[in-house]
Amino acid sequence: MSPEERIAELSKQLHDHNYRYYVLAQPVISDRQFDELLKELEHLEEKYPQFADPNSPTKKVGGDITKDFRTVEHSERMLSLSNTYNRSELEEFDQRVQKLLETSNYEYVAELKIDGFAIALIYENGELVQAITRGDGSKGDDVTANVRTIRSIPHKLKGDFPATLEVRGEIFMHKAAFDRLNEEREAQGEATYANPRNTAAGTIKLQDSSEVAKRPLDCLLYQLVRHDDDRLNHFEGLQRMKTYGLPVSEATELCENFNELWTYIEAWDKKRKDLSFEIDGVVLKINSRAQQQELGFTSKFPRWAIAYKFETERAVTTLKSISYQVGRTGAVTPVANLEPVLLLGTTVKRASLHNADIIRELDVRVGDTVFVEKGGEIIPKIVDVDTDNPKRSSEPTRFASHCPECNTELVRSEGEAAFYCPNTNHCPPQIKGRIEHFISRKAMDIDSLGEGKIDILWSNDLISNPADLYRLEYDQILGLSKTIESDDGSESRVVSFKEKTVENILKGIEASKSQPFERVLYALGIRYVGETVAKKLAQHFKNMQGIMDADFDTLINVNEIGSKIAESLIEYFKVEAHREQIYQLEAAGLQMEVEEQELAGNQLEGLKIVVSGVFEQFERPALKKLIESYGGQNVSSISKNTDLLIAGANMGPAKKEKAEKLGVRIVSESEFLEMVS
């Protein structure tokens, strides 16, 4: 047998053994025999590199060095899920689904919510070609070299796979493997890791894939995204994935109604402690793809899925003191400084107290014994106080009267829970917070910067507003550094400006000048002007000067702009410093007007159009874009003002009935295309 043939044969055997071990859990050879075959393959590939396969099983031991992870676009948005914590909230979700679908004829798929790190895997002709992190949902980092080292992820698919396949899932670390890893580090005198989830997330971004291979990562996949068979529902897609040799959880179940769903949740709430890995809840998804499309998305979450979070663990500790943090809007948040305590694998030193009302309701006082939970939030929170302790302070806690940063007297608007520092333009955390918002991914997307680096630039008097970013020079920032502590006080890290870092920062700042006007408007951080509002304002006024000059009546006449938003805009542009900053940003080259897209035609001008069902030639987002390109307006529901309903397959019968009753014109996909052609 030639070396080329032996390499091919060994690769096939090892891929098959990995499949039997990680997917079927039915190994047919010992670990020692597997290692012997792997060593033989490594030796042959070293001797005959021209015959080595990029997806060889030897890649699972790593070796590639990645200095900078390339950012790539997702084929479809990779969104997170909205959360619910009790049965009544879940019932409300179910009722919303029923109302939007206008039918009770739907199924759920229930899956374990693994506490890990989301990943998208892309296969071409059966071979793994790309692995992408969630990132901001629209784009993520290419971590393919590192993901190749995870033994449960096949490099080559089995069976009758499609030419292009995209699947998504969760990378995680088993509890026993995490404990072993920490034991090894402790024995070597190295710092131990906080918890399995953070360790998995940090591991997948290491630059050396051979180091990744030493960490015991695993993966379970939960979604079929791109595939050539559109008839598959979600549950069928999971079963198909198994036939390709992909790891899918056996705990997933199809539920025909809400009661079956709740039974599944209750069962796993009891059984979760017996699992080898951490879960923090259950994910519930509508099974039908057509119904998923009909339900659609909000700006942040799919409307056809939700996460049910199990009741979290509590820790008991002592409240040492209360400090106050100031956010970019000036809102002042009380923070509890605690006697360090272990909670869900993390040492907690701080917890949120939210606002003055919560402090009063809990009657929390310095020195109290308090109960702390994570409750689905990043920073822990105090949920209860031992008020029966005879040693507790007799003095109730008084909320701060002045800003802890600039000593300005705090104000509280009627109907608002938070106290605010009104010193908007001279209070350091507000200024830094606005700059951090300005560079965020959904705003100017200067991803080479971040909270830690902004703090360093501020501390060195190099920036005091977003416009200063566009005046930074290489020699000014090279060599700067600072130690930054996490919000909960559990860890610290050194942030420094090295040569490559500085180059990336300056490139990122320059690239941000091409961001469209609506994102520049959102980046300013005007109160109540989120992404959607910024887009509507940009589409209506077309340029920044038009918005700056608009009076109250003009603003509230814009679609979906209410009095609260209008008042906030007027107050913002009254401030001369804000207007001056905008002129400086314009001088730096930022986009201050909408780049008009030439319409393909005006056949749909003024028409309000509803799109419903599944289509042969277009995905629904593409069809909606086509409508806009011919002057039409997309609307989400049928009313007497609707001009046209484009009906695809599997459209809800109730929607069709409503359209017919109101006399709305109904057309098929092909009829619609004839209209605009």
Helix (H, G, I), strand (E, B) or coil at 462: coil
Between β-strands 108-114 and 279-286, what pairing exists: parallel, antiparallel or unpaired? antiparallel
Question: Phi first, then psi: what are they for 5, rounded to 5°?
Answer: -65, -40
Q: Which amino acid is at 396?
A: P
Between β-strands 608-612 and 633-634, what pairing exists: parallel, antiparallel or unpaired? parallel
**Residues comprising the chain, all counted:** 677
Name the one residue in this structure whose structure tokens are 């990744």. 212
**CB-CB contact of 317 with 338 (8 Å):** yes
3-state secondary structure 354-399: CCHHHHHHHCCCCCCEEEEECCCCCCCEEEEECCCCCCCCCCCCCC
**CB-CB contact of 405 with 427 (8 Å):** yes
Helix (H, G, I), strand (E, B) or coil at 328: coil
Q: Which long-range contacts (CB under 8 A, 24 or more apart) does 351-354 make?
A: 351/379, 351/380, 351/381, 351/382, 351/488, 352/377, 352/379, 352/380, 352/381, 352/382, 353/322, 353/381, 353/382, 354/381, 354/417
Exactly one of 59, 113, 432, 658 is catalytic; name it: 113
Is 574 tagged catalytic? Answer: no
What's the rounded Cα separation, in Å, for the pair 663 and 644?
10
**CB-CB contact of 405 with 326 (8 Å):** yes
**CB-CB contact of 638 with 657 (8 Å):** no
Between β-strands 253-255 and 108-114, what pairing exists: parallel, antiparallel or unpaired? antiparallel
Dmax (CA) of the chain: 86
Residues 6+ apart with CB under 8 A from 111: 222, 249, 251, 252, 282, 283, 284, 285
**CB-CB contact of 613 with 668 (8 Å):** no
Helix (H, G, I), strand (E, B) or coil at 341: strand
Q: What does each C-alpha distance from 115 to 141, 276, 303, 564 come to in angstroms?
A: 20, 12, 21, 39
Structure token digits, residue 396: 């109730």
Structure token digits, residue 260: 């079956």
3-state secondary structure 190-254: CCCCCCHHHHHHHHCCCCEHHHHHHCCEEEEEEEEEECCCCCCCHHHHHHHHHHCCCCECCCCEE
Residue whose C-alpha is closest to residue 386's, from 371, 373, 397: 371
| CA pseudo-torsion sign 151, 155, 158, 160 | positive
As annotated, the active-site residues are: 113
